[in-house]
C-alpha cells in the first residue's frame, strides 16, 4: 500500500471551463483551472498544494533564471469512452524526472509524490479532458531553483509545479527533415539524457536556421563527427530499414523516451527484429535512396508518431513512401492509441487510472 499524500486544496471560485473553446486548442496555451505547487527547503519537500492556476511571484535573483537549474517532464492523460481517465506510464516519467534532477544537482522527488501530485491535479480538473479522438490533457511537471543568490552553486531551495493543458493533435503533418551536420544538441559527458531546460534553449537556433531553409525538423547527429543519428527534434528517431526497427541506443546524449520504449516493446512482441545501436547517416541516406528505408518517424509524447516525409543531407533529398502506406508506424500508432484510450486491453499495465 502506498501512503496517500497530504495535499492542501484550494479550488477556484471562477472556473474558465465554460468559456474555453475546445474546438481551438493551440498547444500549451490553454491551462486548466488549477496547478500543483510544492517547495523544497531544509532538505525536504513541503507545502504540497493545489491552487487556482495563475502567475507566481519569484525573486529576480532566483538561480534557475541565471544558471539554468531547471528541468521538466511531459506526459498525457486520456479520456476513455466509458468516462474513465488514465495517465500513460507516469512511472517512467517519474524515474526520468529524478535522472534529470540528479544531473543538475537538484533534489529527487519521491516517485509516489510525482505520480500522486499529477493524479490529484488531473482528478480536480477532470472535466477539462477533451473527449474527441486524438485529444488529451498534456501534463507539465517541472522543477526550478529558487535561491536568491547570484553565486554559481547548486540552490538549496526549489519549487516543483505541475500545469495541465487540454490539447488536440500536435504536429501530425508529414515532415521535411534535414540531417544536421554542423550544430550540436548534446555531447558525450553533457546532459542530453536529461530533460533540462537548457537542452531546449540550445536547439532553437539550429531549428530556426533549418526552418529558414524550408525544413520542418532537424535530425541531430553526434557532436564529434556528425556521422551518427541521435534524435529528431524533440523526439526519438526511429527507422524501419531492411525490415528491422532500428533506433539509436539511448546513451549520454539521447533522451530515453517513453514512447520509444513503448514502440520497442510492441515491436518485439510482434516479432520484429529490433536493433538499438549506432545508426549512421550513411546507411539511412542509402536506404532512403534504394527504397530499403520503409518507415522513418520521430517518437514522442506530443505527437506519438511524427512521420518523416523526406530526408535531406548535403544537398541530397529523398522522399519516402506515403505515411499511410507504412505498415509499421500505422500499426504502432493504432495500437498505442487503442490502449491509452481504453479501446484495447492494457496488458502491460501502462494506464494509470485516476
Least distance CB 149 / ligand PMP (angstroms): 29
Check: CB of residue 279 under 8 Å from CB of residue 322. no
Q: Which of 257, 287, 323, 342 binds ligand PMP (CB under 6 A)?
A: 257
Least distance CB 210 / ligand PMP (angstroms): 15
Distance CA 55, CA 51 (A): 11
Q: Does 177 bind ligand PMP (CB under 6 A)?
A: no
Most distant CA pair in the chain, distance? 62
Indicate the residue among 117 and 236 with the shorter CB distance to ligand PMP.
236
Indicate the residue among 122 and 139 with the shorter CB distance to ligand PMP.
139
Q: Does 308 bind ligand PMP (CB under 6 A)?
A: no
Q: Which stretch binds ligand PMP (CB under 6 A): 115-123, 163-171, 255-263, 285-293?
A: 255-263
Q: Does 231 bind ligand PMP (CB under 6 A)?
A: yes
Three-state SS at 270: coil
Distance CA 88, CA 79 (A): 11
Least distance CB 114 / ligand PMP (angstroms): 14
Evaluate the CA torsion angle 237, 241, 245, 251 in order and state its sign: negative
Q: Does 329 bind ligand PMP (CB under 6 A)?
A: no
Q: Which stretch binds ligand PMP (CB under 6 A): 32-40, 121-129, 210-218, 232-240?
A: 232-240
Alpha-carbon distance values, 258 to 93, 108, 353 (Å): 7, 19, 18
Q: Does 258 bind ligand PMP (CB under 6 A)?
A: yes
The number of residues that bind ligand PMP (CB under 6 A) is 13
Rounded to the nearest 10 degrees, the angle between the axes of helix 90-103 and helix 258-269 is 130
Distance CA 157, CA 169 (A): 37
Total number of residues shown for the chain: 354
Least distance CB 67 / ligand PMP (angstroms): 21
Task: Name the residue with the smallest CB distance to ligand PMP.
Answer: 257
Q: Does 294 bind ligand PMP (CB under 6 A)?
A: no
Q: Does 259 bind ligand PMP (CB under 6 A)?
A: yes
| Contact track, ligand PMP, 123-162, x by CB under 6 A | ----------------------------------------
Residues 6+ apart with CB under 8 A from 96: 73, 195, 255, 256, 258
Three-state SS at 71: strand
Q: Which of 234, 305, 320, 339 binds ligand PMP (CB under 6 A)?
A: 234
Which among 180, 161, 147 has a CA at the least distance from the CA of 61?
147
Least distance CB 235 / ligand PMP (angstroms): 5
- H or E segment at 353? strand 351-353
Q: Does 251 bind ligand PMP (CB under 6 A)?
A: no
- Residues of this chain, 74-133, that bind ligand PMP according to CB under 6 A: 74
φ, ψ of residue 36 to 5 degrees: the values are -100, 140
If one counts every other C-beta atom within 10 angstroms of the C-beta of residue 4, the result is 9
Q: Does 301 bind ligand PMP (CB under 6 A)?
A: yes
Distance CA 247, CA 180 (A): 17
Q: What residues make contact with ligand PMP under the rule CB under 6 A?
A: 74, 231, 234-236, 255, 257-260, 299-301
Amino acid at each position: 500500500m502506498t501512503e496517500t499524500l497530504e495535499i492542501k486544496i484550494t479550488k477556484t471560485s471562477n472556473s474558465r471551463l465554460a468559456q474555453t473553446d475546445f474546438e481551438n486548442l493551440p498547444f500549451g496555451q490553454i491551462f486548466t483551472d488549477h496547478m500543483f505547487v510544492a517547495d523544497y527547503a531544509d532538505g525536504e519537500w513541503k507545502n504540497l498544494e493545489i491552487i487556482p492556476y495563475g502567475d507566481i511571484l519569484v525573486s529576480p535573483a532566483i538561480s534557475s533564471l541565471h544558471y539554468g537549474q531547471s528541468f521538466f517532464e511531459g506526459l498525457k492523460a486520456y479520456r476513455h469512452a466509458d468516462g474513465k481517465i488514465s495517465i500513460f506510464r507516469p512511472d517512467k516519467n517519474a524515474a526520468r524526472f529524478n535522472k534529470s534532477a540528479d544531473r543538475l544537482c537538484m533534489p529527487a522527488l519521491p516517485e509516489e509524490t510525482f505520480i500522486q501530485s499529477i493524479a490529484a491535479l488531473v482528478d480536480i480538473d477532470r472535466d477539462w479532458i477533451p473527449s474527441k479522438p486524438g485529444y488529451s490533457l498534456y501534463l507539465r511537471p517541472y522543477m526550478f531553483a529558487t535561491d536568491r543568490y547570484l553565486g554559481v552553486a547548486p540552490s538549496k531551495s526549489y519549487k516543483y509545479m505541475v500545469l495541465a493543458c487540454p490539447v488536440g493533435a500536435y504536429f501530425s503533418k508529414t515532415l521535411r527533415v534535414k540531417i544536421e551536420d554542423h550544430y550540436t544538441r548534446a555531447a558525450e559527458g553533457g546532459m542530453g539524457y536529461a530533460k533540462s531546460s537548457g537542452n531546449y534553449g540550445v536547439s532553437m537556433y539550429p531549428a530556426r536556421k533549418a526552418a529558414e531553409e524550408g525544413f520542418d525538423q532537424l535530425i541531430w547527429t553526434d557532436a564529434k563527427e556528425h556521422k551518427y543519428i541521435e534524435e529528431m527534434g524533440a523526439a526519438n528517431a526511429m527507422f524501419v530499414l531492411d525490415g528491422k526497427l532500428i533506433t539509436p541506443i539511448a546513451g549520454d546524449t539521447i533522451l530515453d523516451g517513453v514512447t520509444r520504449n513503448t514502440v520497442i516493446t510492441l515491436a518485439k512482441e510482434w516479432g520484429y527484429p529490433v536493433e538499438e545501436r549506432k545508426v549512421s547517416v550513411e546507411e539511412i541516406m542509402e536506404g532512403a535512396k534504394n527504397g530499403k528505408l520503409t518507415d522513418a518517424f520521430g517518437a514522442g509524447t506530443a505527437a506519438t508518431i511524427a512521420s518523416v516525409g523526406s530526408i535531406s543531407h548535403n544537398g541530397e533529398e529523398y522522399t519516402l513512401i506515403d505515411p499511410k502506406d507504412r505498415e509499421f508506424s500505422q500499426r504502432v500508432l493504432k495500437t498505442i492509441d487503442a490502449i491509452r484510450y481504453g479501446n484495447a486491453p492494457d496488458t502491460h499495465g501502462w494506464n494509470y487510472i485516476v
